Chains A and B, each alone.
Chain A
Amino acid sequence: MKRLYSKIAISAVVGAVLAVGGFGAAQAQKVKRGGILNFVVGSKIPSYDGHVESTFGMIHPIRPFYSLLIRINPDNPSSPTDFVCDLCKGKVPTGTDGGKTYTFKIRTGVQFHDGTPLTAQDIVATYKKIIFPPKGIASSRKAFFKMVDSVSAPDKFTVVFKLKFPSGAFIPAVATPFNFVYSKKDLDTHGYTWHKKNINGTGAFRFVQHQPGSFVEGKAYERYHHIGKPYLDGYKAISAPKMALRLQAIRGDRASIEFRGFPPKARDDLVKALGDKITVQESDWNCVLLFTPNQDRKPFDDVRVRKALNLAVDRWGGSKYLSQIAIVKTVGGVVFPGHPLAATKAELVKLTGFGTDLEKARVEARRLLKEAGVKEGFTFDFSNRGVDQPYKVVGTWLVGQWKKIGLVAKQRVQPSGPFYNTLRKTGDFDVSIDFNCQSVINPIADVTKFLGSSGSNYGHYDDPVLEKIYDRLLRAETESDQRKIMREYENRAINEMAHLGITLWWYKINPHRSYVKGWKIAPSHYLNQSLDQIWLDK
């Protein structure tokens, strides 16, 4: 056992060196060209359209075919503020005109895979589709660009974004990995839904084939705009919905990596079996598991009952134990832990349910329930998603936590489709598991989840006070102002109204074959997936 732990420790250290050390050890070695990267993906591809979809099942196999205007620095993906140009050139622009104008210079000589040259008009057409989609055209990240007034191209290689007000949330929103740049010609000729079933980008790889339910294949694009890349000849994204299958694929070297993440036990098994042939990279994850009481239903319309649900949960203990069996770990508030805008531990423990005196919290929870007229043994329906990691594990833990204050949660686990239907459409639940998973760490955009006006408000509440606080947050110009208002926002959403319950932030563990070089873990499974940095040391 000690040997296993030492192996894990060594692998984690190696991973951390790779992740944090910039060019570090990997760059010290000479990059080897060629080879096919096989990786496994645990979810299906609903469509190829990045502007519509929000799943890693699409991002992992499809992102390498496309480029973005800007992206997170692939050599420093754990930084929430380090962005670099992808299709733009030079440095990522800073705002002019009091932070209300952003001017991007576009690379010349870039071609789409069908041979069409890229111009500023393609960028404009892409962002118009994302920010101002015509009626009936879905755009999942439209709300990220609330601050944008217009996007235009004054010349063939310049794009200008005009904002309604200065916002620190703009640049992170542009770097969102779902913002695939499409060809204006394709949009004009084939319409706004063509990209759901067709691919034509400027990414590091060209589309070869997609066998639904089996694999997606890409080959290196010889005219890729980052000269000298990609290093790989191609890649194959293999569909493997069962975790055991993905694990065995890596173990048997049928696949080299899985980009979403494995639970700790899977990591331990791989390390135990393969030793230094496996490298482990780990990171905090910009994803948090929540529970949402349905405020359309009694007694969850009563803030005392919602507070009691929060007070029952032992987050600090959960972090200690659940992190050993699930992909959750970090205790945090509404903002990604570790971000400058996130609550410190001293601030966190003041929030309802985050205190360190668990017994006191549970006594208070029982008092609140009694005051609200909720009797011992009150039974309610708890809707959960039929995915083991981390939904079912955390769900079962929550049921046990609520039992400690005399509540009986009857867990109803459904496959993803029916679960989302219950959560989003029918609202047929008392309390539901919920989540807030984002890509680029952009707290000001990420916390919109807690707003009543949010498209993902499944608690069916309306809170004008919280909306006003958010409006101030959106317009705050300095980080200290943002931080101060963020605490007000957190206090209102969690302490005063307990609209949602925050459980634990996810923790990303990526064990992969040690010969996979150049890929660095990011705090999101959506990020750093262009694959143009990766090479195989074999």
Chain B
Amino acid sequence: MAVVSEVPVEAGLEVLAPAKPWHAVAIDLTRRYPLGTGGAVIVVVMIVLAVFADVLSPYDPEENAFEFMLTPPGYQFWMGTDQFGRDILTRLVYGARTALFVGFSCAFIGAFTGLVLGVASAYFGGRFDLIFQRVMDVFMAFPLIIMALAVVSIFGTGTQNVIIAITIPFIPRCARVVRSSALAIREIPYVDAARACGFSDARIILRHMVPNVMAPFLIMISAFVGQAILLEASLSYLGLGVQEPTPAWGLMLQGGAEEYAESAPWVAIFPGIAISLAVFGFNLFGDALRDALDPKLRAQ
């Protein structure tokens, strides 16, 4: 007679802790990563400003109103007006849209392209990897701004070309970091198992390797957004980026810094603060993300 021992299902299993409510998670994260939270707040505020610019802005960002030219900050214009009488606060709010559009476009396109190329380079290895990495070396030999300047001088100015100019130098930087992670993953048996199952190279790269290099990839994206915002502002400041009358922070700085630094300093100060704050925010957020996702740092 068979004896069936009755064992309770729950026996031997740990009871899972109930999921924390979102605000508890937020408080926990804030306590663990106070600077990162500060960065995240800045990023969220920027996104809100960019998305709701039409609602939040009191004035048209491109409309010249010469009767109000170079009005100092006050009740009517909280951050004053520029030499064309345009409200600086309005242009900053719309400028966030330009900054984020360029920042996210460059970061995502550059990082995704770099991700695919980096993983592919690691996966195929051999001569392909050797040649590909040397090409990456050539691109990485140039500082970001120099590379971006070279690309803008070839393609010309304007938002689209600025995105291209900033994206191109991002690709090798992401590809190099991702490749180093992917090299380790390539040696793990499940990749061999996938190969043995006859999966295509594309499937192995995209379904099995790419998800496992997400941690460095996400960190790179957050860093790239900040860098792209700074590069866009630099190119616009040099007159090679976004063009007037489009509201963009670097352009606002360029239009006012030289001539009005003394007589109307608000024209240069507020865009300068906006650029600094945005880059600072993304960098803090990126650092916190790295701390959270890197197992070694997490253990510490």
Contact = CB atoms under 8 A, between A and B. Distances in A.
B73 interface: no
Given A269-B262, A411-B244, A400 B84 contact: yes
Contacts of A395: 244
Contacts of A484: none
B241 to A, nearest CB: 10
Interface in A399-416: 399-400, 403, 410-415
Given A395-B244, A396-B245, A400-B84, A321 B66 contact: yes
B64 A397 contact: yes
A263 B66 CA distance: 17
B83 interface: yes
A264 B83 CA distance: 12
A266 interface: yes
A460 B245 CA distance: 28
B191 to A, nearest CB: 49
A324 B263 CA distance: 13
A488 B262 CA distance: 48
A452 interface: no
Interface in A220-245: 242-244
B61 to A, nearest CB: 12
B63 A242 contact: no
Given A317-B66, A325-B83, A397-B84, A413 B243 contact: yes
Interface string B242-261: 01110000000000001110
B157 A400 contact: no
Contacts of B258: 242-244, 388
A475 interface: no
B243 A412 contact: yes
Contacts, number: 64
Contacts of B262: 269, 272
B272 interface: no
A400 B156 contact: no
* Interface residue range, chain A: 20 to 34
B34 interface: no
A364 interface: no
Contacts of B259: 243, 263, 265-266, 325, 388
A320 B67 CA distance: 10
B239 A413 contact: yes
A268 interface: yes
A202 B156 CA distance: 45
B140 interface: no
A100 interface: no
Interface string A43-58: 0000000000000000
B69 interface: yes
A16 to B, nearest CB: 23
A169 B137 CA distance: 63
B245 A400 contact: yes
B157 A321 contact: no
B165 to A, nearest CB: 15
Contact of B244 (A266, A399, A414): A399
A412 B244 CA distance: 9
A321 B244 contact: no
A328 to B, nearest CB: 13
Contact of A400 (B63, B69, B243): B63
B216 interface: no
B263 A269 contact: yes
B62 A403 contact: yes
A393 B157 CA distance: 18
B158 interface: yes
Contacts of B66: 317, 320-322
Contacts of B244: 392, 395-396, 399, 411, 413
Contacts of B245: 396, 399-400, 411
Contacts of A242: 258
A127 B83 CA distance: 47
A418 B239 CA distance: 13
B258 to A, nearest CB: 5
A244 B258 CA distance: 6
A386 interface: yes
Contacts of A244: 258
Contacts of A403: 62-63
Contacts of B64: 396-397, 400
A414 B241 CA distance: 10
Contact of A325 (B62, B63, B69, B239): B69
Contacts of B83: 325, 393
A411 B255 CA distance: 15
**Can you list the 3 inter-chain pairs with the closest CB atoms, starting with the nearest?**
A321-B66, A400-B64, A396-B244
Given A243-B259, A400-B63, 19 more contacts: A243-B258, A265-B259, A266-B259, A269-B262, A317-B66, A320-B66, A324-B69, A388-B258, A388-B259, A393-B83, A400-B64, A400-B84, A410-B158, A411-B243, A412-B158, A412-B243, A413-B239, A413-B244, A415-B239
9 contacts: A321-B66, A322-B66, A397-B64, A400-B62, A411-B244, A412-B157, A413-B157, A414-B156, A414-B157
